[in-house]
Structure 1
Amino acid sequence: MFQVVNILCLDFVVFVVDIAKIFVFCLEFCGVVLESVVEGVISLLVNLRDLIFLIFSAPIGVYLVTLYLIDNTIFAVVILAEHIKRAVVLIGTCIWYILMLIPYSLLYTVYLIPVFLIDSIHYARKGASDIILTVGQKLYNGLLKIAQTFSDIPCEAFLGLILGTAVLSVMFQRRTLLVRYMILAYRAHISTVKKLIEISISPLRRMARSIYFYRRSITRSSSRALNGSVSNAKTSPSSAAKSSNVKELQRTLEAELEERLCSVCRERRKSVIVLPCRHLCMCDECVSVVAQISRMCPLCRCPIVNTLKVYV
């Protein structure tokens, strides 16, 4: 940008110098014109004098005066035309430079911007290459010093570090595997204990459920018998028959419910067939417990070879 400003200043100085030259030329032109006018006046006076002299002299004098006047007139016209040409050239050139100052400045600016960018990129590339070379040299020297520092370490020290790292990694892996196995064994033990507790509690649950159903059936039958005796005392044999039918239906429902429930826990539906005896007697949760304890069918006590899950 400084170069652009410098170029514009130089152009302006050249323009000012041209203006000064034009002004000096105008002064010279005016001086020449005045000088020509003075000379013309003087020559006119001289000519008048000569004319007067010639008038009084002879026709030859008239002829000479005429020739002299014609020559001077032609000379004055030629000089005037030359000065007019110079004035036209000077004025036109001034107007042209004044009008073309801004376009030329823009053109110079547009021309100098790529030049400035190219120079900047060149110097930036050169500076970056110098920086990279310097940094690379310093890094090389630093790494060389570090290598020289560690080059005198004995091989036994490196081998000891490698063996120690390998031993520590193996011990850590074994310890991790041991901890995982311990966690898995603890979880399996907890699940087994939970299943055993469920198996031991399931008969009590089944007994409590039977007692509950029995008491509920007794309560319903007694309430129905009481309502029947109050409403109609003559229908006691029919109410007894109805109560017996209700009990029979209750037993049938309980038997069907027990047939659908697992033979081990009596809580979940049967969904596993035991092979080879083909008994549908257990749920998914109780299969793993029976497999860990006895591996025998809970109905026929046959050894369990395989199990098959079914959807009922």
Structure 2
Amino acid sequence: MFDAIITAYNVIYSVIYYSYYVSLKCGQTIVTQSANLANNVVNFGLILLESLKIFLEDIYGTVVLIYGSFMHLFDVILGVIGDIGSGFSKIILEICRVYEVILNSPLAVIRVIRQLFVCIRDLIILIGAGVWFAITIVPLSLCYLTTSTAKLVLSLIIETFDKIKQCTETIKTVLYDLYYFVTDVPLESLAGLIVGLSIAYILFQFYVVIYAFLRARFTSYKQIIRQNCAVLYNNILQKITVRQRVIYRRILESRRPLHLRREPINRRVLVARRVIQQEESKNEDSFLDQRFCVICQERQKCILILPCRHVCLCSECNSQLQMYNNTCPMCRKDIERTMKVFV
């Protein structure tokens, strides 16, 4: 009995110790890998934010360049318009001056003619410059716009490829981290976890059987201890009673006259009495065994098993037996039906 208790204690201690060890190792592994994964995620976020910042700065520089080109073109157009206005103002001034010369002096006619040719020349130059500007403004605008657009698209393509490359490297790093996170688990931890889960599953599946077995064993041990204590108590009480009777008889015999004293009690008679008393105690124990359930040894028998007609179970043990193994505990025959009786 004590060996079984010690063995059960050692098994329970080993299960608790290895379960604690496995849970500790699994917890350490989970915490370490979670911290590594969190650091990788934070680094990935920082890299992504920095790349986005550089990308936005490049876009801002390109937009500023395009804006400067358009402002330069606008300044050129304003300059041409100003030149045209100044040319018209010069023509008007020259006309006014010719008018004044004609009115003031006939000698100024030559000057007027000269100034007229000069004005005509300036007008022709102005018209030619305007026509040339009108001809070249569209190609120049297209050239500037194409160059700026090409630079912008090229920078966008380069930045996009760089971002794709960085994202690919980051994804590879994360996948490698996940692979190492999964494969870095020690084999003994994995084996211990599998064994622990298997033991827990087995205990969960057979907890009714284990509970009934342990309860039956505990009840049988308790009944044996109780019977042994009762037998020991009866033996001690019988020895004390017999001893008192012998002493009392000896005292009475010593007080009687010599011719009235009895013969000493024969040893065979004492042995016969002890045998009779032991048989009576055994009969009493067998009577108690016949009254109580054969499984729990605590409650009275009240279930009749058919077809073997054994009365050996109580109601609680009968319900547990139907869940586990529907056979008679005495003859091991299949139970067709049961009937409650009063013993």
Please indicate, yes or no, whether the TM-score normalized by the shorter chain is above 0.5. no
Q: What TM-score, normalized by structure 2, do the two folds share?
A: 0.33
State TM-score, norm by structure 1: 0.37
- Which of structures 1 and 2 has the larger relative contact order (alpha carbons within 8 angstroms, sep 6+)? 2
| Structure exhibiting the larger radius of gyration computed from Cα positions | 1
